[in-house]
A and B are shown apart, each in its own frame.
Chain A
Amino acid sequence: MHGMINCALQGFLISTYGSGIWTEVRDQAGLPADGFEAMLRYDDAQTIHCVEAACQVLHKHPNAFLEDVGTWLVTNQRMEPLRRLLRFAGPTFLDFLHSLEELGDRGQLAMPELDLPDLTLHRLDPSSYRLSVRWGLLGAAPVFLGCLRAMADDYGALAFLHLDGIEDGAEWVHIQLLDSAFAEGRSFALGGAAS
């Protein structure tokens, strides 16, 4: 597992619940004392142990926990660079949805060893979509659920999303897009990166 993903889990736990909770999760899961390092690789088992321990310490269902992680990735101030990178995908939420299949390639442009899930968007009708999420580990779909809900808000779109089961070896997310321009959304200036 890429250290970036483990670091996201650690960052979420510390910024949301404090370093005491992180220490508890770290010790229970047997994670490195200094925490994860974004530029290193880790055994997948450490990621799984980290999520399991977090759910146990926080008394949360894994889906709920992972959805919160997804929301945090987009909405937390610390993660603003990531939100910006996601917004490069297109000017509207619909453009963003259609660009999700490129997400793996986009991720690898940023970090050549980053292994993101394979995403495929299936159109059911002009406002309904199903997204298939395929990854080495289960649990990517709830992360994307949280992430996509937050991105819909970010674009000012009105959308309903829910987990839609596991079939054909993939996790599925159902997306109902009601209004692409429902609200103002958060600003995105193409040249607006803090430099």
Chain B
Amino acid sequence: MMASPPRLARLIQRAAPVLDMLMPMHLWLDLAGGVLQSGPTLEKMVGDGALIGRGVFDVLEIRRPIATSRLDDLLPYAGQRLALGLTSAPDLPLRGTLAVLPSATGYILDISLGLSFARAVREFDLTLSDFSPCDQTVELMYLHEANASTAALSRRLSERLETARAAAEVQALTDPLTGLANRRAMDQAIVEALADRQTVFTVLHIDLDFFKQVNDTLGHAAGDRVLTEVGRILATEVRDADLAARVGGDEFLVLLRDLTDATGVAALAQRLISRIEVPVEHDGHQCRVSASIGSATVAQIDRRPSLDEVLADTDVALYAAKRAGRGRHMQFDDHTLAAPEARRAQDPPSLRAHTEQTKRTPSSGR
């Protein structure tokens, strides 16, 4: 039984204010899909005046669960969630559901904003009063903004922590007196160089001669002055890819990447010794020191020594340089110094003796 047109018109007139309040984005359709009544927010979004009299598929595109522009196709999906869009704003996905009214009085199609609510609110300039007081879209907008604010706070906190961490890391890898790297940084760099089989390199182990005398006769400030100067010399003599570190009281290590030929290493070592031997003035006194240097080269890509082996090799060479009269450079060489097995077995005690003799700091002993 179909409602007579005048009765239906009266019914719609009486129901419209209630529907507008509860469902401000609804359409009331007749049996043929013509719009009999529409909610104010939906009208605002479509934007070209009253929708009454237009066909539903002229206003909306139905996309899922079935893409259709025939009402009969849609009826089986009454009560289900529909994905749809306005023909006037097709890129904004909306959702809706269709209800069949009793007594052949037509259909109600209610619509909501779905997940693109924030964009929809902006694009259509919707306000608080465009939503039913029960609609949670406004709370979603609130949450959306609140999230953005707190995310910004979290991001700033992370950035500050990252800056602090980076500063702490630089400190942890730097020798505060000379500004050179410290032992940790040097160990790390050598381990990395060993791990990369493309990398060949030489390590210099520098131990100052007569440094103790400077310290004892002219005081710690003079000693520090000498160390700072040596730091400056090393920093200026090495290339960007190299690394110089102070690893003990008057001990330094230099990592020279891609420098493996004995002549080049010897020349550099000799230059370092000459520059270190230039007297440093402190409080009117000339502080004179020299340096002994032992070096070891890792040039083989198939057999990589360990970090400890590399450092032991430089120790052996350094010891040889000291024993040969100080102020000179010796390169580690398996054949000239000792057979590797014999050396590993014999040298530790003699190195220890050497350590005591020259009063090196405990941290330098390996």
Report A's interface with B, CB cutoff 8 A: 4, 37-39, 81, 84-85, 88, 90-91, 106, 109-111, 189-193, 195
B128 at the interface (CB under 8 A from A): yes
Residues of B within 8 A of A91 (CB): 127-129
Residue in contact with B125 in the complex, picked from A4, A106, A191, CB distance below 8 Å: A191
User: Do B143 and A109 touch across chains, with their CB atoms under 8 A apart?
Assistant: yes
A81 to B148, CA, bound (A): 10
Measured CB to CB, the nearest residue on chain A to B127 is A190
User: Do B145 and A193 touch across chains, with their CB atoms under 8 A apart?
Assistant: yes
User: Do B126 and A191 touch across chains, with their CB atoms under 8 A apart?
Assistant: yes
User: Do A111 and B121 touch across chains, with their CB atoms under 8 A apart?
Assistant: no
Residues of A within 8 A of B139 (CB): 88, 109
Residues of B within 8 A of A106 (CB): 142
Report B's interface with A, CB cutoff 8 A: 118, 121-123, 125-130, 138-139, 141-150, 153-154, 157, 160
A90 to B131, CA, bound (A): 11
Residues of B within 8 A of A109 (CB): 139, 142-143, 146
SS class, residues of chain A in contact with chain B: loop
User: Do B138 and A190 touch across chains, with their CB atoms under 8 A apart?
Assistant: yes
Beyond A91-B129, A106-B142, A189-B127: 17 further Cβ-contacts under 8 Å?
A: A38-B157, A81-B145, A85-B149, A90-B128, A91-B128, A109-B143, A110-B142, A110-B149, A111-B150, A190-B128, A190-B130, A191-B123, A191-B125, A191-B126, A193-B144, A193-B145, A195-B148
**Assuming A110-B149, A190-B127, is B141 touching A88 (CB within 8 A)?**
yes
User: Do B146 and A191 touch across chains, with their CB atoms under 8 A apart?
Assistant: no
Closest beta carbon of chain A to B129's beta carbon, Å: 5
What are 28 A-B contacts with C-beta separation under 8 Å? A37-B157, A37-B160, A39-B154, A81-B145, A85-B142, A85-B145, A85-B149, A88-B128, A88-B139, A91-B128, A91-B129, A109-B139, A109-B143, A109-B146, A110-B143, A110-B146, A110-B147, A190-B126, A190-B127, A190-B128, A190-B130, A190-B138, A190-B141, A191-B122, A191-B141, A192-B122, A193-B148, A195-B148
Residues of A within 8 A of B125 (CB): 189, 191
**Assuming A88-B142, A110-B143, is B128 touching A191 (CB within 8 A)?**
no
Residue in contact with B157 in the complex, picked from A39, A84, A111, CB distance below 8 Å: A39
Closest beta carbon of chain B to A144's beta carbon, Å: 19
Measured CB to CB, the nearest residue on chain B to A112 is B150
Closest beta carbon of chain B to A154's beta carbon, Å: 14
Closest beta carbon of chain A to B152's beta carbon, Å: 9
A81 to B152, CA, bound (A): 11
Measured CB to CB, the nearest residue on chain A to B149 is A81
Residues of A within 8 A of B138 (CB): 88, 190
Closest beta carbon of chain A to B326's beta carbon, Å: 49
Measured CB to CB, the nearest residue on chain B to A95 is B128
Closest beta carbon of chain B to A4's beta carbon, Å: 8
Measured CB to CB, the nearest residue on chain B to A4 is B153
A109 to B129, CA, bound (A): 22
